[in-house]
Structure 1
Amino acid sequence: MNVKHLEAFLTVARLLNFGEAARTLNYSQSTISEQISGLEEYLGTKLFERIGRRVFLTEQGKKLFPFAERIVRDAEELKNLFNDSTIISGSLHIGAAETLCAFWLPPLLKEYRQLYPKVEINIKVGNCVDFPQWLQQNSIDVAFSLNDESKQQQLRQIELFHGETVFITSPDHELSTGLVLELENLAGQTLLLPEGYCGYPMDLKNLLEKEGVKANMIMQFGSLESIKQCIKNGLGVSLLPKIAVEEEIKRGEIISLAWNGQDIPIQAQVLFHRDKWLSPPLAALEKLILAKIGKKKDQ
C-alpha cells in the first residue's frame, strides 16, 4: 500500500465512478482499478461493489474513508515539511467557465506559472452549476465561476470583477443598420450563446422569457471562438463579454449593436470549499488573485 493507492481510493469514493476518477487523477482507468485492487488485497477486504453500472462503497470502504483522508493529508504535510519552503510544487485542479478560460484566466495562469513553475495545473472546463458539487467531491481545488454562490454556506467566494457584455452581429446583418437595439428586435432572430445555465447567457434567456420575446432559434456553443466565427459568417446575433470581442470589432469583422435594454453584465467569482485544505499551490493562487484584485481597485 502507498499514498497513491489511498488517493485513488478517495477519488473513486467521492465520485463513485472509476472513469471520472481516472480523468481527475490523469491516470488510465485500468491503473485506477489496479490501485484499488492492490489496496483491497493489502487490507484483505472489498472496498467497492458494482451493481449494474453503479459503484457503491462497502461498509468496509466507509470505515476506511476518514483514515485515508487523514493519511493523505498527513503525507502531504510531511512532504511539504522537508521541501524547500521557497519552492512551491504540487498540483492544482481548477474548474472554470469557458468564458473565463477564453479571456480572463490565461494572463493569471501565465503569471502563476512564471512564479511557480513546479506546480502542475489541470483545467476542467465546465458548467457553473456543477462547480459546487465538484468542490464538494474534491475533484477540483478551486472554481472560476459566473454564478453567485454566496448563499451556499459550505463555499467561500471572492468576487473577481464585473464586466460589460455587448450584442454583436455581422456587418451585413439586418440589425447592423445603426438602429438602437430593443429587446423586441430579437424576436425571430437566431441567437448564438455560450452553453450553460448561469451567468449572462442565462440572464438574457430569462429576460426574453419574462418579456415574451421568442427568438427563431437559440444555438448554444461550448466555445466563444466558435460563436465569433459563426457571427462573422452571418449566422445571427450574440451576446458576449466586451473584452472577448474588442479586437474583432476594431477590425470591422463584427459589429457592436447599441443596446437600449436592461443591463446584462458579466460577474465572475472564484470559489473555494470552506473545508478544503489550502495547500501551498492553492494558497499561492489565492494570494496572486487577491493581489491582482487589489491592484485593480487601486487603479
Structure 2
Amino acid sequence: MDIKQLQTFITVAKLLNFREAGEELNYSQSSVSDHIRSLEKELGTKLFERLGRKVFLNENGKKLISLAEKIIQDEKEIQGLFNKNEKISGLLRIGAAETLSVFWLPPILKEYRIIYPDVKVTLRMDDCVEFPKMLSHNMIDVAFSLHDQSQHEYISQINILKDSTVFVAAPDHPLVNLNRIKIHELENQSFILPEAECCYRVELEELLKENGIKIDTIMELSSLEAIKQCVKIGLGISLLPKIAVQREINKGELAILTIENCDISICAKMIYHKQKWISPPLNALKNMICTNNKEEEHKIS
C-alpha cells in the first residue's frame, strides 16, 4: 500500500474536494483521482460517494480514516528515528485564540524562526472550542487555547500563561471616577462582550447571575480590536484580558474599573493530540515554551 495514496486519501477526506486536495499536496487533480482510484482498487471498495461535483466520505472511508492517519504518523516517526542529526525542518501548523495570536505568540514565533529557519510555520486564528476537533481531524499540529480541554480524553495540555482580566471603559465613563465599584453598580450598564463561548465571558455571566445582576449587552463581537474601539468611543464597558488592553491603558485611551470581589483570570494552554506523533518541529516548540515558562517561574521566585 502506497503511503502517498493514504496521504491523498486523508487530504481528500478532510477537504472533500479533489482540486483543493491537489493544491494542498502540490499534485494535479488527475493525480489525486489516480491515487484514490488505485487505493479503492487495492482495497476492493469505494471510499467516497460522488454526487455531481460534490464528494462525501462513505462508511468504508470513515472506517479507514483513523487507521490511515496512524499509518502516516508511524511512517513519520520511523523516518525521525534516523534523522536525529539533521537540521529541524518541515511544516508546523498552529491554531491559536485571538488574544494569544496577537499579544503573546508573536515574540515566541520570532525566536522560533531564528533558531529553526527551515521550519515553515502556519498560524490559524480560531475559536478555542474548535481546536479539539481540528486536532482530531489533523488540521493543525498544536493549538494555544484559553479553554480547559481536559474533558477530551485524547487531548494533552500544558499550562503556558496565566493573566488577569480587567473591566475597561472610556476615560470619561461615569464609573471611572469611583475608586472602588461594588458589583451591583454594574446593574443595567451597557456591555460590549466577546462571543458567548469565550471562557472569561462565561465566568462573568455566572458571577452576575449569582449576584442577581442584569446587564445590557448591546454588542457581541468576535474581534478584540473591534471591542476596544467601541469601548474607547463610549458605547459601553467590557471585560478583557489585561494583556490585550495594557497598551491602551498606558496611553490613557482606556481606563480600568476596579470592581470589588471580582477576580476572573485566564489560563492559556498548549494542547495537542495524545496519539499524534510529536514531530521534530513540534517537539522543538514544546521544549522552547516549557523552557521559557521555567525561566519565568524562576524569575518570580
- TM-score normalised over the length of structure 2: 0.85
Residue 168 in structure 1 maps to residue 168 in structure 2: yes
Does 2:42 correspond to 1:41? no
Q: Tell me which residue corresponds to 1:288.
A: 288
- 2:232 corresponds to which residue? 232
Q: Which residue of 1 aligns with 2:297?
A: 297
What amino acid sits opposite 2:152 in the alignment? Q
Out of 16, 19, 22, the position equivalent to 1:18 is: 16
Q: 1:172 to 1:189 in 2, by over 3 A?
A: same
Partner of 1:109: 109
Equivalent residue number for residue 149 of structure 2: 149
- State the one-letter code of the partner of 2:137: Q
Q: Which amino acid aligns with 1:286?
A: K
Deviations along 1:21-40, one digit per CA (max 9) or x if unpaired, are 95xx7947997965542223
Q: Is the 8 A contact 1:97 1:144 kept in 2?
A: yes
Whole-angstrom CA distance in 2 between matches of 1:26 and 1:216: 49
Number of residue-to-residue matches in the alignment: 294
Residue 182 of structure 2 is matched in structure 1 by 182
Change (3 A) 1:35 1:290: farther
Deviates more, 1:26-35 or 1:205-214: 26-35
1:95-150 Cα shifts (integer Å, max 9, x gaps)? 21111112111111111111111111122222222222221222111111111123
Q: CA deviation at 1:84?
A: 7.5
C-alpha offsets along residues 212-246 of structure 1, whole Å, 9 cap, x if unaligned? 32221252222222221111111111111112212
1:8–1:35 CA contact under 8 A, matched in 2: no
Q: C-alpha displacement at 1:174, in angstroms? A: 2.1
Which moved further from structure 2: 203-212 or 31-40? 31-40
1:130 corresponds to: 130
Whole-angstrom distance in 2 between the partners of 1:231 and 1:187: 18
Give the Å deviation of 1:76: 3.3
- Once structures 1 and 2 are overlaid, which stretch shifts more, 220-229 or 88-97? 220-229
Query: Does the Cα contact within 8 Å between 1:144 and 1:268 map onto a contact in 2?
Result: yes
Q: Retained in 1: the 8 A contact 2:73–2:276?
A: no
Contact 2:163 2:241 in 1 (8 A): yes
The match for 2:219 is: 219
CA distance 1:129–1:20, shift in 2 (3 Å)? farther
Cα contact 2:92–2:281 (8 A) shared by 1: yes
Q: Give a deviation string over 1:182-201, Cα, whole Å, max 9, x none.
A: 32222222212222514212
Q: Does the Cα contact within 8 Å between 1:166 and 1:257 map onto a contact in 2? A: yes
Matched, 1:205 2:214: no
1:268 shift after superposition: 0.9
**SS at 1:175's partner residue?**
helix
Q: Which residue of 1 aligns with 2:267?
A: 267
1:87 aligned residue: 87
CA distance in 1, matches of 2:214, 2:46: 55
Q: Report the Cα distance in structure 1 between the residues aligned to 2:286 and 2:74, rounded to whole angstroms.
A: 22
Which whole-Å CA distance do the structure 1 matches of 2:283 and 2:26 have between them?
A: 33
Deviations 1:16-74 (A, max 9, x none): x526995xx79479979655422233233532115697822352x35654664355335
Residue 263 of structure 1 and its aligned partner are, at CA, apart by 0.8
Contact persistence 2:156–2:271 (CA under 8 A):
yes
Task: Pick closer, same or farther for the CA change 1:32–1:223 going to 2, 3 Å.
Answer: farther
Q: Cα distance 1:289–1:21, how it changes in 2: closer, same or farther (>3 A)?
A: farther
1:273 Cα deviation from its structure 2 partner: 1.2
Query: Which structure 1 residue ranges, 5 or more long, are not aligned?
Result: none
- Which segment is superposed worse, 78-87 or 125-134? 78-87
RMSD, aligned α-carbons? 3.1
* Structure 2 unaligned spans of 5+: none
Which residue of the partner structure matches residue 277 of structure 2? 277
Question: What is the distance in 2 between the residues matched to 1:164 and 1:177?
Answer: 22
